């Protein structure tokens, strides 16, 4: 982690880069002092001004809001059957409005809040996880904090910390990867069966009968097959969530 490099990065530009690369976002705008500063996805300059006005409207009307921490930061959302709009007052003069899939929008607003305030850190190495993008099985780019990809429905059990590479669950808990017990048991059974077959083949080999040759041949095939099964079964790891 390069701290001095991080400090030199414009935080609002970092937020813009982050939101622009997340899937499931339809429109967004970052509003500073009432004017759109950054916008993206399907937003042009005219639309950005319209959304900036909407963000200001939503935040000043406070018709439905939830406070993340005390009364300084406010998230407001409006939901229609087809759309979801979330707006957050991140600082007195800094607003963020995001439109798209509900959970993705809410998670982005929270992640940006964490980025500007109490950063989410890796439980293994303490590295910064704020504005980290998580990939689902189908390569959708998502914010940290979702258990399920809202686009394809695949579960997100863990992601790798960008600093240390160790597995972390979507809520910032440690995850360890373990070989499932049934895979170990299956592997042991396969190994025993293979040894037994080879034993039979070796024992009957001196007779050089057709049968022993067949057994020897099939035990070689079985050995190759069981070795690949053994390797695959022991290599397959399951994530197990550790409590903090």
> In the block, which residue shows the tokens 């439109």?
99
CA distance 29 to 161: 28
Is the torsion defined by CA of 20, 155, 74, 55 positive or negative? positive
125 binds Zn ion per the rule CB under 5 A:
yes
Q: Of the candidates 65, 142, 151, 71, which has an alpha carbon nearest to the alpha carbon of residue 108?
A: 142
Instruction: Kindly state whether residue 140 participates in binding Zn ion, applying the rule CB under 5 A.
Output: yes
Residue nearer to Zn ion on the CB measure, 193 or 242: 242
58 versus 161: smaller Cβ distance to Zn ion: 161
Q: Under rule CB under 5 A, how many of the chain's residues touch Zn ion?
A: 13
DSSP H stretches of helix in the chain: 3-8, 11-20, 45-61, 102-116, 181-205, 210-235
Token pair in block for residue 179: 């070989």
Among 164, 176, 185, 189, binds Zn ion (CB under 5 A): 164
Tell me whether residue 164 or residue 225 sits nearer to Zn ion (CB atom): 164
User: Applying CB under 5 A, which of residues 52, 161, 175, 215 lies at the interface with Zn ion?
Assistant: 161
Give me the DSSP letters along 181-241.
HHHHHHHHHHHHHHHHHHHHHHHHHTTT-HHHHHHHHHHHHHHHHHHHHHHHHHH--EEEE
Identified binder of Zn ion from the candidate list 163, 186, 204, 212, rule CB under 5 A: 163
- Candidates 12-20, 79-87, 93-101, 140-148: pick the segment binding Zn ion (CB under 5 A): 140-148
38 versus 84: smaller Cβ distance to Zn ion: 84
Give the footprint of Zn ion on residues 93-122 (CB under 5 A).
122
Residues that bind Zn ion (CB under 5 A): 122, 124-125, 127, 136, 138, 140, 149, 151-152, 161, 163-164
């Amino acid at each position: 982690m390069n701290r001095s490099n991080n400090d030199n990065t414009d935080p609002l530009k970092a937020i813009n880069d982050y939101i622009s690369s997340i899937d499931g976002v339809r429109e967004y705008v970052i509003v500073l002092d009432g004017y759109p500063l950054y916008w993206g996805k399907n937003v042009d300059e005219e639309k950005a001004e319209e959304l900036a006005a909407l963000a200001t409207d939503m935040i000043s009307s406070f018709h439905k809001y939830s406070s993340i921490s005390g009364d300084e930061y406010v998230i407001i959302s409006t939901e229609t059957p087809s759309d979801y709009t979330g707006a957050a007052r991140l600082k007195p003069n800094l607003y963020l409005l995001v439109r798209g899939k509900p959970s993705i929008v809410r998670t982005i607003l929270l992640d940006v809040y964490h980025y500007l305030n109490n950063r989410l850190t890796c439980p293994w190495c303490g590295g910064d996880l704020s504005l980290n993008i998580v990939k689902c099985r189908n390569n959708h780019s998502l914010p940290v904090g979702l258990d399920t990809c809202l686009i394809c429905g695949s579960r997100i059990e863990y992601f790798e910390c960008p600093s240390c590479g160790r597995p972390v669950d979507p809520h910032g808990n440690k995850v360890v990867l373990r070989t499932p017990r049934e895979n170990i048991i299956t592997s042991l059974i396969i190994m025993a069966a293979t040894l037994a077959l080879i034993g039979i083949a070796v024992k009957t080999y001196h007779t050089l009968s057709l049968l022993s040759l067949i057994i020897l041949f099939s035990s070689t095939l079985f050995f190759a097959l069981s070795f690949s099964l053994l390797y695959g079964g022991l290599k397959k790891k399951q994530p197990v969530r550790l409590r903090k």
